[in-house]
Structure 1
Amino acid sequence: MHSKLRRHRILFATGVTLAALGWAGSAAAQAADPSAGSSQQGAADAPASVQTDAATAGPVTIGSGDVQGGDIVVTGSRIRGAAPVGSTVIAVDRKAIEASGAVTTDRLIKEIPQVFDLGTSENSRGQSGGNSNITFGNSINIRGIGPYATLTILDGHRVVNNSRSVDPSIIPSLGLERVEVVADGASAVYGSDAIAGVVNLIPRRSLNGVETIARMGFADNFHESQFGIAGGRTGDWGQVMVAYEHVFRSNLSGDDRSFFTSDQRRFGGRDFRSTQCNPGTLTVDGANYAIPAGGVTPATAGQLVRGTANLCEGFRGQDLFPETKYDSVNGTFTAHITDWLDAFGDGYFSKRSFRRLNGYTGATVTIPTTNAFFVRPPGTTGPETVQIRLDDLPNNETTGFTRSWQGAGGLRASFGGWQVQGQLIYGRSNDTANTPNGINTPALNAALASSNPATAFDPYGLGRTSAAVLAAISDQVFDAPTLNRFTGVEASINGTLFTLPGGGVKLAAGYERQELEVSLGLRRGAPSTVATFRDFDRQVDSGYAEVLVPLFGPDNAVSFLRRLELSAAVRYDKYSDVGHTTNPKFGVNWSPASGLVIRGSYGTSFRAPLFSQIYGNSSNLFVQPYADPSLGGTIVQGVALSGGNLDLRPEEATTWSAGVDWDPFPNARISLTYWDVSYTGQVDTYLADLAILSREDQFAGTGVILRGPAAAARIQDLLAQGIAVARGVLPDNPTLFIDGRTQNLGRSKTSGIDVLASYSLETAEAGTFTLNANATYLTRYRSAITPAGTLVDRRNTLFNPLTFKGRASLTWNYEGVNTRLLVNHVGGYDNNTLPNGAVQKVGSFTTVDLGVTFDVGDPDATRFFDGGFSVSFDALNLLDQDPPFLDFAPTVNGSGGYDATAANPIGRQIAVTVRKRF
């Protein structure tokens, strides 16, 4: 992988950085400026708006005027002491983290309305990108623009990923200082992936003492627990912090939720029950015969009634989300070596293990007359098939883990108002998802044909198949491990170029080098099969510069020009495999009056295709159930092809926004933002899209959907190429084919309005009341399947971004008691997957959370039993609101009877949390 050449490049970049630091040291020796302070991404001393006493269980907002003259680096800008010009940062601070009912960092972030649960999610994999989520992880999808269009970083630098995305839960919530979200294009600042925005996980650097947490939560047939400890020290010498957390979340079975059902008639919906049951349904000479309960033998064949069929739940035993265990640790350090030189670093280790029950396999199998248990309905002569659910075989189980670790460290020199910084980053990750009991189709066919009862398969409902035969039929292993290695080098300089009447003109500039190596593995076949790997690598060299120009400020303010700031950023990225790109961004803040800022931004962004999208772990066929509107929603078995695409190109986007931040009176803020994203060359995959037939006309001419003889011929051609069936049993006469490989087909135009508001009222007698509200409203979401296709409005339709999401909280702090009332709302939408153009109006989903925290003893106590305890009681979904009914067939990827992307199926959850600080 040309590792020797890459090491030379890294050593060269490191030498440049150290040389710059040496020059900085020389300059500092001549003119040290102690007042310059120290700066780092995620430093302990956050701006006032972030460190507000936000025991509000909601985000606070960093507006365009919140950071003035400090050393903090706020997400969205590389310039110290300035928030990103033209953009707003949504920050979830430490108090809000503690008040949240979320036990993992990803769920904490998904409480923000601008984050949509579409695509890469543990509970729903039916949207774009979901098919790659083989380990049931979570990623952040800002505004539903795409599961890979949001960049997640740690303390301002990149994080090793699984060649797809970053799961924020690599960092324990106990080790977080805050989370900052910039819902605006940021490729000019951070590079690839930041089309919809960027999420910065800022670890704790201010902890001085020890903090422990224990939490237990329970719901109907569900429970979770969280245990953690963090310790830190701060002083004139610097700081150090280490946090560890263990989280367990039980699985939630679809069998335990009545709304996840195939028979939706009692809710006013359709009957999606399957004929693949146990006992099953015989088909001979074009007629069906329901096998009676208790089975059928040649002696009882007269009980078979022509024109009957068994109907049953098609997804018995399937989890809505998997059992998951998290073990994660992270740490930070800062060392003040001299008054001008600091060493700093951060790191983490995380392992997330999962176990998911995928449900029992359904199949339609042909029964040769040689079968030892063969039964023929009276008066029939033709070939015989049985539609059956293979309950005698084990539940399809997938187990696996995502394990990753990373360390980053560097030096930072301060001199004369300037800072020079350099750091090295190295990390590795390992993804694996093992399905140990896949169907061995040759073994199944052999058992169906066997005339020996000891080696034959019994499809007639009496359970006479031997354990040895069942084991042979379900012995196929499928695993697609992915190994990743990331090496990064960063060097930057930051300071004031010169001073204008409005303030100092500031510059941030730097160089970054990324080395990415991935091994895509495949293990398929007998248990003794050894995984084979294909190795790929990518190198990225990047340079960036950002300048802030304050034309008007406190020293030269005039009427209607109290403040006017301009910013410009540009970044050049050169990829070793997909070319190069240059992306600018411009911003403006204008304050015509005190407490009022009008802002705007414009920029371009891009996203390089992922290794997994270009190459794919493997090409496989998946037999899956599809709801077919042309047949009244009847479930049909289709065959989908997975795999990569060597011709993928980078995605591109143009983004702009305009907004206003208004502080109408003390302790109050209202922020409005209109945003617009034009996205082209989107990489889409349709392997996991089980609702694709509802848009069949839009795929005309693409070859993505084939029916009838064309489908059968395509499948036979793929089988002849050696592409195997990875899941399900291939029908004898397949009539539906879906090309689920990655393609640069899509384009979209999305726009909307964000509204954030906060108000705090302090009273002398009744304590402090705080109100927070955050909502997003989509004014447009139009997309096309193909680059030349007609843009279609998909806003407020199934499995697409919804028009409205909002969250509001009211908290009351009084004499050591914090009471929180939260309302979460997702608007209703249209289910446009019904036959004949019919539309179901799906209701909105509103839940109420209630929490109370009691502080016990002296919160500043240094001895264990003197105080510092807090006990919290939380009721999430207090009113036990069920998800709104969705007239949609259950699928192997989530949803069905309810929408997993818009509603939580857990129900009311009661949790108790104990914290101790000393």
Structure 2
Amino acid sequence: MKIGTLAGALASSVCIVAIATPAQAQERAFDIPAGSLRAALDAYNRQSGRPLIYRAEDVRGARSPGYRGTASPEAALDAVLTGTGFSARMDSSGAIAIVRAGDRSGTGPSEVRAEAPQVSDSTDIVVTGSRLRRMGNDSPSPVTTFDRAEIDRLGSATVSEVLRYLPQQPYARAETYSSTGAQFVELRGLGLDSTLVLLNGRRLVPSAADALFNAVDLNAIPLAAVERIEVLSDSASAVYGADAVGGVVNVILKKSIDRPSITLRYGGADGGANEYRVSGAAGIDTGTLRLSLVADYFRRDTLLGRSRSLFSDQDYRRFGSIDQRSTSANPGNVYSLSGGNLPGLTSSFAAVPASGSGGNLTPADFSATAGQLNLESTGVYESIIPASRRASIFAFGEIDISPIVTLFAEGLYGNRRTDSLYDPSSLFQETVPADNIYNPFGEDVLVDYLFAGVGPTDTINRSNMLRGVLGLRGRVSSWDWEVSGLRSHEDGYNVTTNSVDFAQADCLLTNPAARVGGACNGITGSLNVFQSGPGGEATLLASLVANPARVHYSSDGTQLLAFVRGSLFSLPGGAVEVVAGGEWRRESISNSRSLTIRPDREAIGLFSEAHVPLVGSGMNVPGIYELGLTGAIRYDHYTDFGDTLNPEVGVTWRPMPDLLFRGSYGTSFRTPSLFELYAPRTTFVTSVRDPRRNNQLTSGVTRFAGGNPDLDPVSGKSLTAGIVWTPRFVPRLRLSASYWSVEMKNRVGAFPVAVLLATEADYPDRVIRADPTPADIAAGLPGVIRSIDISRINYGSLKTRGLDLSFDYGVMSRLGDINLSLAATRVFAFDTITRPGVVDLERLGVASGQGTIAKWRATGGLQWSRGGISLGTTTRFVSAYDDVDPGLQARNGRIIPAQFYVDFQFSADLERIFTSQASGRSVQLTAGLVNLFNRLPSFSEVGFNVGHDFSQSDMRGRFGYISLSYQF
């Protein structure tokens, strides 16, 4: 797998195509189709491994004859440029500038450095982590990139699946974590709301259906339209504003499509989760007008719990744990109401006999099951992976309205449906009266019962999302500018069906003579919970189904962005680059369950960045080949909570051309979400144990919950320091290491009742007590609790630090191209505090329901290609960690073993293999296996009732896929 550090910010007028280091000058096979020069240069970059630098507007409209055959990289490039009016010029670093023939003043390597794997997709360069015109490998903060070729090699079907191969994301929650089937990203494990997600460099509004998490559902982004995914695993609030505490994920969609194409894909796992995808893309480039369109349809079938043993058999005693099967079973269980023996039996409880039929049972029929219980693995009904359908269309267009001004627009439409199944409704300790015609005991009894005859509860989530961008950009001398507006809207609903109306069930359990009119909503007869089976006729069961519970939701976002950037003046080390701009946005979220959370929120941001090259490569300073400083600062004002100012500083130092030291420090923030601030207050009566009254159980306590408009923003600070080595004597070798540290304060959370009562002295206004009675005073006790307030509050902090390591190496020879890579993250500490002065259970190397932080995560890859055929394997590794008892929140002595997942892929370009002429067409056949050795999760108690750690495991198991792509 090739995951490189992204080339950083550069002028929108400059297009960079690059790889890590120059390749050896031996001959190799090339297959570069005729067409636009820009597409030919992109293809040359991918096939040769040579860094190229050129101005996109210079090559616009130029056509290349292409090249197919075996030649040295130099000869192949000459053939590609034949008749185009352009030539190549190389400097000592190996970077190649594409300039007009005879031009000695074009963009050269002294202005930009090309080292990271990136293929630009338009003149509108979108680079994560900075708005400056600098290259990413010279940036103080590293950026990891999954380009399109890498995405295809991984065999992933969604953006979230791609990010599973990112070691900086310590865990990935299963789709069933959210009732909508949403998937999120959590860099460094800092929380769902601490990673900013961008689409083409502009922020996405958090998904309305998941307002509780204040996070973007990655499933809203069609992977078929993605050109690359850039990940900055460092705070970036000084550049992008709120929510970038843990880092930034920037998804870049395809904007330049030289030839139309269509792709078909099918995949499946044992027992379900079959996938079907059809996608197509087309584009137009007339020189002044550029249009592209990508359409994608994706369907995934469900994977039911009955297909995996940890769900189908929840008796975990076989792993040395406990039996977690439910007593709400079918057939069910009967209990004495008084606690004494059931009539005619020697026990207070008994299992309903499996052979029970109708109303003919007597107490004697229970003699064999007295003292026994029926137990049910309800996981068999649940969807491990929910069924889903997604249809998306992405369109991009731009037109040059003058030699220096371009009008651009983009639009994304998505329609999604997710269908999640849960276990059927059930009765637990429900009273069945003596006069129920099926009650064989002649007295009131208690019953546990599963409505298996009604079937699983079904939650359907549907949404439509529309997002559009319109803007202008241009260039004046050495300065460029951009003004753009964005509008997004999401509308949908969540509906729960096939759940039981318990009022109807209660009516059907009572004496028919006591019913109004002798019927329950027109249904006569009684519900039979003393048999193995559905419990009644079809009409009776149909009457039990409650009306669908529907929740509507919507979100709106409007953004305006303007900036200008360029060279302020020149120093001996180079030009001082600056950018300055402003941003305005308005967001709103509504939910019919909690009414409108707030009509809207507005924010205004002002930002500026600068890069100062203190020492340049031409200054001949001993020990300093290059030295640069960067700085960024951003001011944000929010209408609902105030102001915040966040700076960031960085340094880059090259003692020699192939060795880079870098570091950065910055502050960041996250605004409280609209849900956290304005979720309506709710109240209900409960019982609590009072630690100040000797753990007395106090009933009738009013509990308040909801938002808190007085919340402060979450603040953070981050530090990174690293080294990158690209030795010139070993072409295509790149080694890097980065130390990182992140600290967050004022984290927002709902107060657990036990934590609140244990720290009552710190929050006296949240626990209201009655005046102590004379007896209380005599005993030294406070008054009884009348109410508690567990609404959200700033009270938590988190500190984590670690080391990122990466290795990339490539060899090109007549036997083929070989690429070897390894990326790993070692976490040294992960400390959280959720109440003053008290440290939580250690999170590092310990299973956690909040998401397990393993000490090591790594991804390695090995790829070989030659003559249109490629083979590749990718390995994911998670180090062993301790399991915990979720109830006691303590280690239980069990070790979750290290996890290795191996993927394999084969790909063949059939057109290249069987056709000798360079037609420009491509027929790509790809087949692969994810989790080749069918590694299923080890048992873990942290996943109560599911038997595994869902933050680290993939219950899908081995997954095979095949795709066919045709480029016309």
**TM-score normalized by the length of structure 1:** 0.81
Q: Shift of residue 649 of structure 1?
A: 2.8
CA distance in 1, matches of 2:440, 2:19: 80
Distance 2:885 2:48 in 1: 42
1:646-694 alpha-carbon deviations (Å, 9 max, x no partner) = 44332111111111111133201111111111111222359xxxxx9xx
1:368 to 1:276, Cα distance in 2 relative to 1, 3 A: closer
Q: Does residue 785 of the first structure (1) align with residue 834 of the second (2)?
A: yes
Amino acid corresponding to residue 373 of structure 2 in structure 1: A
Q: Which residue of 2 aligns with 1:771?
A: 820
Structure 2 letter corresponding to 1:701: A
Paired with 2:917 and 2:494, the residues of 1 have a C-alpha distance of 46
- Indicate whether 1:755 and 2:805 are aligned: yes
Question: Structure 2: any 5+ residue segments left out of the alignment?
Answer: 1-8, 22-41, 50-94, 96-111, 209-213, 340-347, 514-518, 687-701, 761-766, 771-786
| C-alpha deviation, 1:77, in angstroms | 0.3
User: Does the Cα contact within 8 Å between 1:614 and 1:645 map onto a contact in 2?
Assistant: yes
How many angstroms apart in 1 are the aligned matches of 2:224 and 2:892?
48
Going from structure 1 to structure 2, the CA distance change for 1:863 and 1:491 (only over 3 Å counts) comes to farther
Matches within 5 A, 1:418-437: 418-437=479-498
Q: Which amino acid aligns with 1:876?
A: V
Aligned match of 1:409 in 440, 459, 470? 470
The equivalent of 1:558 in structure 2 is: 621
Partner of 2:555: 484
Which of the residues 528, 543, 556 maps onto 1:458?
528
Distance 1:447 1:468 in 2: 12
1:281 to 317, 322, 333: 333
Residue 53 of structure 1 deviates from its aligned partner by 3.4
Alpha-carbon distance in 2 for matches of 1:698, 1:211: 58
- Higher deviation after alignment, 738-747 or 293-302: 738-747
Distance 1:511 1:442 in 2: 57
State the number of aligned residues. 798
Q: For the structure 1 residues 466 and 257, does the alpha-carbon distance in structure 2 shift closer, same or farther, using more than 3 Å as the test?
A: same
- Post-superposition CA distance 1:382-429 (Å, at most 9, x none): x52111222132311001123211111111120120012101111101
For 2:891 and 2:754, how far apart are their aligned partners in 1?
A: 12
1:508 maps to amino acid: V
Q: 1:80 aligns with which of 112, 130, 133?
A: 133
Q: Say which SS state the counterpart of residue 832 (structure 1) adopts.
A: strand
Separation of aligned partners in 1, 2:462 and 2:623: 57
1:302 matched to 2:372? The reply is no
**How far 1:593 moved relative to its partner?**
2.0
Aligned-pair distance for 1:582? 0.8
Q: Where does residue 572 of structure 1 map in the other structure?
A: 635
- Show the counterpart of 1:605: 668
**Alpha-carbon distance, 1:307 to partner:** 2.2
Partner of 1:498: 569
3-state SS in 2 of match to 1:392: coil
In the other structure, the counterpart of 2:399 is: 335
Distance verdict in 2 for CA 1:244–1:117, change over 3 Å: farther
Question: Is 165-174 or 660-669 further displaced after alignment?
Answer: 165-174
User: How far apart are 1:917 and its partner, in Å?
Assistant: 1.0
How far residue 645 of structure 1 moved from its aligned partner, in angstroms, is 3.8
Distance 1:902 1:550 in 2: 44
What is the rounded CA distance, in whole Å, between the counterparts of 1:325 and 1:40 in structure 2? 36
The Cα RMSD (Å) is 3.5
Task: Return the offset for 1:345.
Answer: 2.4
Letter in 2 for 1:905: M
2:872 to 820, 844, 859: 820
- Following superposition, the deviation at residue 38 of structure 1 comes to 9.7
Is 1:198 the equivalent of 2:251?
Answer: no
Deviations 1:252-305 (A, max 9, x none): 111110123311233443321221111111111332211111337474222224
Match of 1:229 in 2: 280
Amino acid aligned to 1:684: G
Cα offset, 1:800, TM superposition: 2.6
Where structure 1 has 5 or more consecutive residues not aligned to the other structure, the ranges are 1-36, 57-61, 126-132, 524-531, 624-638, 687-691, 704-709, 714-736
Deviations along 1:616-649, whole A, 9 cap, x unmatched?
48859999xxxxxxxxxxxxxxx99974444433
Cα gap change, 1:810/1:641 in structure 2, threshold over 3 Å: closer, same or farther? farther
Matches within 5 A, 1:320-399: 320-369=384-433, 371-375=435-439, 377=441, 384-399=445-460
Give the direction of change, closer, same or farther, for the CA distance of 1:574–1:740 in structure 2 (3 Å limit). Answer: same
Letter in 2 for 1:578: F
Find the residue that maps to 1:143 and give its secondary structure.
helix
- Matched residues in 2 for 1:208 and 1:279: separation? 63
Q: CA deviation at 1:376?
A: 5.2
After superposition, the Cα gap between the structure-2 partners of 1:224 and 1:863, relative to the gap in structure 1 and judged at 3 Å, is: farther
Equivalences for residues 124-273 of structure 1 within 5 A: 125=177, 133-163=178-208, 164-222=214-272, 223-260=274-311, 261-273=313-325
Label 1:440 to 1:793 Cα distance change in 2 as closer, same or farther (>3 A). Answer: same
Distance 1:38 1:309, change over 3 A: closer
Q: Is the 8 A contact 1:54 1:96 kept in 2?
A: no
Note if contact 1:135-1:402 (Cα within 8 Å) is conserved in structure 2: no
Alpha carbons 2:11, 2:132 under 8 Å: kept = no
Greater radius of gyration (CA): 2
Q: CA deviation at 1:777?
A: 1.4
CA contact under 8 A between 2:867 and 2:913: conserved in structure 1? no
Identify the residue that residue 910 of structure 2 maps to in structure 1: 856
**Matched ranges for 1:46-57 at <5 A:** 46-48=17-19, 53=46
Partner of residue 163 from structure 2, selected from 109, 125, 129: 109
Q: 1:860 to 1:421 in 2, by over 3 A?
A: farther
Q: Is the 8 A contact 1:657 1:674 kept in 2?
A: yes
Specify the alignment match of 1:507 in structure 2: 578
Q: Which residue of structure 2 aligns with residue 879 of structure 1? A: 933
SS, match of residue 113 in structure 1: coil
CA drift at 1:101: 0.7
**After superposition, what is the alpha-carbon deviation per residue over 1:182-239, rounded to whole angstroms, capped at 9, x for unaligned?**
0000011001110110111112233211121111112112211111001113353152
Q: Which has the higher contact order (CA 8 A, sep 6+)?
A: 1
The one-letter code sitting in structure 2 at the alignment partner of 1:229 is G
CA distance in 1, matches of 2:334, 2:623: 81
CA distance in 1, matches of 2:680, 2:415: 21
Q: Distance in 2 between matches of 1:913 and 1:889?
A: 35
Give the deviation of 1:839 after TM superposition: 2.7
- Aligned equivalents of 1:330, 1:481: Cα separation in 2: 25
Paired residues of 1:262 and 1:889 also in contact (CA < 8 A): no
Describe the superposition over 1:346-391 as per-residue Cα deviations: whole angstroms up to 9, x where unpaired.
221112211111112233143242552352548xx6x521112221
Residues 530-576 of structure 1, C-alpha deviations (whole Å, 9 max, x = no match): xx655521000110011111101112242221111111111111111
Range with bigger deviation, 495-504 or 232-241: 232-241
Letter of the 1:179 partner, please give it.
I
The residue aligned with 2:591 is: 520
Q: CA deviation at 1:700?
A: 5.5
Partner-residue secondary structure (3-state), 1:445: helix
Aligned match of 2:32: none
Partner Cα separation in structure 1 for residue 918 and residue 20 of structure 2: 32
Is 1:898 aligned to residue 960 of structure 2?
A: no
How far does residue 45 in structure 1 lie from its aligned partner after superposition? Answer: 4.4
Match of 1:678 among 715, 719, 743: 743
Q: Structure 1's 49 and 759: CA in aligned 2 closer, same or farther, altered over 3 A?
A: closer
Structure 1 residue 854, shift from structure 2 partner: 0.6
Deviations 1:28-83 (A, max 9, x none): xxxxxxxxx99449x86445459763999xxxxx9x96479998452100102332
Question: In structure 2, which of residues 147, 153, 169 is the aligned counterpart of residue 93 of structure 1?
Answer: 147
Q: Are residues 902 and 520 of structure 1, via their aligned partners in 2, closer, same or farther at CA, if it must alter by over 3 Å?
A: same
Post-superposition CA distance 1:816-860 (Å, at most 9, x none): 111001111122211111668523111122111111101112499
